[in-house]
């Protein structure tokens, strides 16, 4: 295993709207497998396209360029354009054609900027639309079949436009009672209970998903007390359950952000990086502590070659599906943006569409990042 390939296991954030010389030098040396962009990276349409082109130019292997573009408050691109309706609004409207339109327009928009992976659809079931567990507004259903039907429509339309998809947050955040951005949720569902309900959307859509994101929660049925062990670092959940039992053996698997409180409060950085890959993840996500990526690279180098080689092979397979960006056109962006606004009005009605998403005055970390 070539040590210069270790960076492929890193999915890293980017400090700002342009690459300064130090960041460019760091990324050129480490060769991360992918980059995830946030609001701090988005100023204008032209600037965003240039940033993505610069990230691609310094990468020897075509990188994954990803973002959370779900709809509603988790729509990073609403900073420079219209805010698409969220999953809950689309499900409540009850018109499947609008969900398909949302997937198509999302795919077209991302291809235009140069993204190739969207971190959605959310496949969690909403048991309480008002729960303070980071999922408010983001769930396509209140039962498994509703999620399968609605998220499936979005997923197929997105992928048809050449954008890879990611099911999240396996095995579930739906029963979480706290926001994993801040604390580690404890979910006392057994494997059999999960198989009968929460995991059904993931298993049903498994053949149509390009990747899977593992959430941060402790499932005592998989990893018994006394140690509180996050699912994103769990060999029992990722390798034994997702890969071996459900059959996602060759699929691309990534952690949720390792900079979230659910991880920072429970394990060391070295544990987070090494145990994530040992557990069966291929990509370790470091969204905000970007100065730690060199240290992460060092921690990865200490892992057994067999573990690293398996992850690198899955990343390579996933990257074979990447489609180049569309040619840039500001007019095309403006046209897609008008269509997104039309979709918003068709889903919410003119009066509700005029108000952008806020969470009763409280900004969730999932919205701010």
Which pLDDT value is given to residue 132? 80
132 burial (CB, 10 Å; 0-12 / 13-18 / 19+) is: middle
Helices (H), the chain: 21-30, 45-57, 87-93, 96-113, 144-160, 191-196, 200-205, 235, 261-264, 269-279, 293-301, 305-319, 330-348, 350-353, 365-368
Q: Please list, in sequence order, all residues whose beta carbon lies within 8 angstroms of the beta carbon of residue 31, skipping any fewer than 6 positions away.
A: 4, 5, 7, 8, 59, 60, 61
Which pLDDT value is given to residue 357? 79
Rounded to an integer, the average pLDDT of 188-197 is 97
The rounded distance, in Å, linking the Cα atoms of 261 and 266 is 8
Which pLDDT value is given to residue 362? 41
Instruction: Please report which confidence band the pLDDT of residue 361 belongs to, taking 50, 70 and 90 as the band edges.
Output: very low
Sequence length of the chain is: 369
For the chain, the distance separating the N- and C-terminal CA atoms, rounded to the nearest angstrom, is: 35
Q: Which two tokens stand for residue 333?
A: 């962006």
Q: CA quadruple 89, 95, 96, 100: dihedral positive or negative? A: negative
Average pLDDT of every residue of the chain = 95
Which pLDDT value is given to residue 44? 98
Instruction: Please report which confidence band the pLDDT of residue 359 belongs to, taking 50, 70 and 90 as the band edges.
Output: very low
Rounded to an integer, the average pLDDT of 211-239 is 97
For the residues of 2-63, what is the DSSP string, one character each?
-GGGGGGGEEEE-SSSS--HHHHHHHHHH--SEEEE-GGG-S-HHHHHHHHHHHHHT-SSPP
Which pLDDT value is given to residue 363? 46
Q: With 90 as the cut, is the pLDDT of residue 1 above it?
A: no
pLDDT digits (tens, 9 = 90+) for 10-68: 999 999 999 999 999 999 999 999 999 999 999 999 999 999 999 999 999 999 999 99
Closest CA to 135 of 146, 155, 150, 120: 120
Q: Is 306 within 8 Å of 91 (Cβ atoms)? A: no
Instruction: Please report which confidence band the pLDDT of residue 131 belongs to, taking 50, 70 and 90 as the band edges.
Output: confident
Instruction: Please report which confidence band the pLDDT of residue 134 belongs to, taking 50, 70 and 90 as the band edges.
Output: confident
The rounded distance, in Å, linking the Cα atoms of 108 and 166 is 17
Q: Which two tokens stand for residue 350?
A: 């003119």
**pTM (2 decimals)?**
0.95
Rounded to an integer, the average pLDDT of 260-289 is 96
Q: Is 184 within 8 Å of 265 (Cβ atoms)? A: yes
Which pLDDT value is given to residue 175? 86
Q: With 80 as the cut, is the pLDDT of residue 3 above it?
A: no
Rounded to an integer, the average pLDDT of 284-312 is 96
Which pLDDT value is given to residue 177? 83
Q: With 50 as the cut, is the pLDDT of residue 123 above it?
A: yes
Spell out the domains of the chain, with CATH numbers in brackets.
30-123+148-164+322-351 (3.20.20.300), 174-318 (3.20.20.300)
Q: With 60 as the cut, is the pLDDT of residue 85 above it?
A: yes
Rounded to an integer, the average pLDDT of 93-101 is 98
Q: With 60 as the cut, is the pLDDT of residue 149 above it?
A: yes
């Amino acid at each position: 295993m070539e040590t210069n390939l270790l960076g492929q296991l890193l999915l890293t954030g980017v400090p700002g709207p342009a690459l300064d010389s130090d960041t460019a030098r760091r990324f050129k040396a480490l060769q991360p497998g992918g980059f995830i962009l946030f609001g701090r990276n988005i100023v204008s349409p032209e600037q965003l396209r240039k940033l993505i082109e610069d990230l691609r130019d310094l990468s020897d292997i075509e990188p994954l360029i990803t973002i959370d573009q779900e709809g509603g408050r988790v729509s990073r691109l609403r900073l420079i354009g219209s805010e698409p309706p969220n999953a809950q609004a689309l499900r409540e409207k009850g018109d499947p054609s609008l969900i398909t339109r949302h997937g198509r327009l999302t795919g077209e928009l991302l291809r235009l900027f140069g993204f190739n992976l969207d971190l959605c659809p959310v496949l969690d079931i909403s048991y309480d639309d008002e729960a303070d567990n980071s999922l408010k507004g983001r769930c396509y259903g209140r039962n498994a079949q509703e999620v399968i039907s609605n998220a499936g429509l979005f997923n197929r339309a997105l992928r048809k436009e050449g954008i890879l998809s990611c099911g999240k947050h396996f095995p579930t955040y739906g029963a979480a009672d706290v926001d994993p951005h801040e604390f580690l949720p404890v979910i006392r569902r057994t494997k059999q209970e999960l198989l009968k309900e929460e995991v059904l959307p993931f298993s049903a859509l498994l053949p149509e998903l390009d990747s899977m994101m593992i959430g941060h929660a402790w499932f005592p049925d998989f990893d018994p007390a006394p140690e509180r062990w996050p699912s994103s670092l769990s060999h029992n959940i990722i390798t034994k359950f997702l890969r071996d039992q459900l059959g996602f053996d060759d699929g691309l698997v990534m952690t949720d952000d390792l900079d979230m409180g659910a991880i920072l409060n429970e394990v060391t950085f070295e544990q987070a990086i090494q145990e994530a890959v040992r557990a069966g993840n291929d990509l370790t996500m470091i969204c905000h502590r970007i100065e730690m990526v060199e240290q992460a690279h060092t921690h990865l180098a200490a892992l057994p070659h067999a573990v690293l080689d398996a992850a690198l092979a899955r990343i390579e397979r996933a990257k074979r599906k990447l489609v180049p960006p569309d040619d840039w056109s500001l007019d095309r962006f403006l046209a897609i943006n008008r269509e997104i606004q039309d979709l918003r009005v068709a889903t919410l009605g003119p009066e509700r569409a005029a108000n952008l998403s806020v969470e009763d005055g409280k900004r969730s970390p999932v919205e701010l990042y």
